[in-house]
């Protein structure tokens, strides 16, 4: 990975890793606190989904904000907004206020994800883009995995848990200040409307949307699916963790493969692998070693679809167009992460528990089909 600006890259990865840590801690802390107050699971689900709505709401404006204030200024503002909105949850028990704060929090995450993903693509050399983006996504997912463990370890030991979580986000600020210049080098360009670039990135957007659905369904409904297939509760809860471990552990391998055999081949190949593996889930549940292996590999190939969607953004776009493309990716994430678990949960109740792999299979199949009408063949 020659000609790589390592200082800027490491500072960016460290900052986004801290954001992942704060995000991974805040989500379970919110759900746990509401549950302890006797709030129903339906309301908890709505409060959780509001963050995804915030991501979606911010997406159309990020390109304009970056054009006006620069990427570093926007990211610092979003970090501060995330910290304050999280800390303020300590001050009220009002569900309406919590919903508003989670909306602001989600919008902040949307800004950070959009600019961070565009920024890492801007830093990455063309011949090693897959590996560079894979390091970035791996770091974020790894820190996000640590978040729930941190909440569990400190449960009952911290007097003001939401204030502490808010303070975590502030640890991302030094990394922002270390990045040389703090620019993409295209701030003098006018912002690019998302409508102009969407026709060139259907496959990218659908890939991001699929993984958002896969990720949120795995976290929320996979343990329930496992229990319905006779897996003990304590092991069923670990199913989502194993999926995330697969996603975290193997991204660099897929990035290396994309750099050497072509991003598009690996991208479509991961979609095909998901379609092959998902129908095996009902049969694997009766065989522990097969169940865990299958979840590990599924997490890896599904996560690679998202990571390679980010790589494709960097291959096709630059400057403000790249920021707009990253905003479309995050809007896709917001839509399906909010709606995916809802649709899947309803179908599991009405059509049976195996609706879960069926819905995910349909999403992967649509992603593969999108390759056929993708205008840019890279």
Residue spans of the domains in the chain: they are 1-191, 192-378
What are the tokens at 90? 């300590």
Residue 25 has a pLDDT of 85
pLDDT (tens digit, 9 = 90+) per residue, 170-193? 999 998 888 865 445 455 566 677
pLDDT (tens digit, 9 = 90+) per residue, 330-341? 888 888 887 887
Contact indicator for 109, 68 with CB cutoff of 8 Å: no
pLDDT band at 232 (very low <50, low <70, confident <90, very high): confident
Q: What is the pLDDT of the chain when averaged over all its residues? A: 86
What distance in Å separates the CA atoms of residue 201 and residue 93, rounded to the nearest whole number? Answer: 42
CA atoms within 13 A on the CB side of 180: 8
CB-count burial class (<10 Å; 0-12, 13-18, 19+) for 126 = exposed
Whole-structure pTM value: 0.86
pLDDT average, residue stretch 297-306? 95
pLDDT band at 23 (very low <50, low <70, confident <90, very high): confident
What CATH class has 192-378? mainly alpha
Contact indicator for 216, 340 with CB cutoff of 8 Å: yes
What distance in Å separates the CA atoms of residue 261 and residue 110, rounded to the nearest whole number? Answer: 32
In this model, does residue 156 exceed pLDDT 80? no
Residue 166 has a pLDDT of 92
Write down the residue that tokens 């200024």 correspond to: 73
pLDDT (tens digit, 9 = 90+) per residue, 105-119? 999 999 999 999 989
Residue 264: other Cβ atoms inside 10 A: 19
CA atoms within 13 A on the CB side of 35: 9
Residue 182 has a pLDDT of 47
pLDDT (tens digit, 9 = 90+) per residue, 118-132? 899 988 888 899 999
Residue 350 has a pLDDT of 86
Q: Can 1-191 and 192-378 be said to share one CATH topology?
A: yes
Give pairs for 90-94: CB < 8 Å, separation 24+: 90/160, 90/161, 90/162, 90/163, 93/37
Choice between 111 and 63, residue whose per-residue pLDDT is larger: 111
Residue 181 has a pLDDT of 53
Q: Identify the DSSP state of 37.
A: T
- Integer angstrom CA distances of residue 4 from 174, 184, 189, 284, 292: 21, 14, 24, 43, 37
CATH architecture observed for domain 1-191: Up-down Bundle (1.20)
DSSP codes joined into one string, 156-223: TT-SSHHHHHHHHHHTTHHHHHHSSTT--S-TTSPP--HHHHGGG-HHHHHHHHHHHHHHHHHHHHHH
What distance in Å separates the CA atoms of residue 267 and residue 304, rounded to the nearest whole number? Answer: 7
pLDDT average, residue stretch 260-277? 94
In this model, does residue 378 exceed pLDDT 80? no
């Amino acid at each position: 990975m020659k000609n790589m600006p390592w200082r800027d890259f490491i500072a960016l990865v460290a900052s986004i890793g801290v954001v992942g840590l704060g995000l991974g801690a805040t989500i379970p802390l919110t759900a746990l606190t509401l549950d302890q107050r006797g709030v129903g699971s339906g309301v908890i689900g709505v409060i959780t989904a509001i963050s995804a709505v915030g991501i979606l709401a911010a997406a159309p404006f990020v390109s304009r904000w970056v054009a006006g204030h620069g990427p570093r200024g926007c990211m610092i503002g979003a970090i501060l907004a995330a910290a304050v909105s999280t800390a303020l949850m300590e001050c009220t028990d009002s569900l309406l206020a919590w919903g508003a704060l989670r909306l602001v929090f989600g919008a902040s995450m949307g800004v950070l994800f959009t600019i961070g993903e565009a920024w890492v693509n801007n830093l990455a050399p063309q011949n090693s883009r897959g590996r560079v983006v894979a390091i970035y996504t791996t770091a974020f997912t790894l820190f996000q995995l640590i978040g729930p463990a941190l909440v569990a370890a400190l449960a009952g030991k911290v007097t003001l848990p939401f204030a502490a979580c808010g303070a975590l986000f502030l640890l991302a600020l030094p990394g922002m200040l270390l990045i040389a210049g703090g620019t993409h080098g295209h701030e003098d360009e006018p912002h690019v409307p998302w409508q102009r670039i969407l026709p060139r990135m259907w496959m990218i957007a659908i890939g991001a949307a699929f993984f958002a659905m896969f990720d949120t369904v795995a976290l929320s409904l996979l343990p329930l699916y496992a229990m319905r297939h006779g897996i003990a509760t304590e092991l069923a809860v670990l199913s989502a963790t194993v999926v995330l471990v697969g996603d975290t552990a193997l991204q660099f391998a897929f990035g290396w493969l994309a750099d050497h055999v072509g991003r598009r081949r690996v991208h479509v190949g991961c979609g095909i692998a998901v379609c092959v593996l998902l129908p095996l889930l009902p049969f694997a549940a009766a065989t522990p070693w097969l169940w865990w292996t299958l979840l590990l590999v599924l997490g890896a190939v599904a996560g690679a679809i998202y990571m390679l969607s980010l790589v494709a953004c960097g291959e096709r776009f630059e400057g403000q167009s790249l920021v707009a493309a990253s905003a479309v990716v995050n809007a896709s994430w917001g839509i399906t992460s909010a709606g995916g678990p809802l649709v899947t949960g309803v179908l599991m109740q009405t059509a049976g528990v195996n609706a879960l792999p069926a819905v995910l299979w349909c999403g992967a199949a649509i992603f593969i089909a999108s390759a056929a009408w993708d205008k840019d063949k890279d």
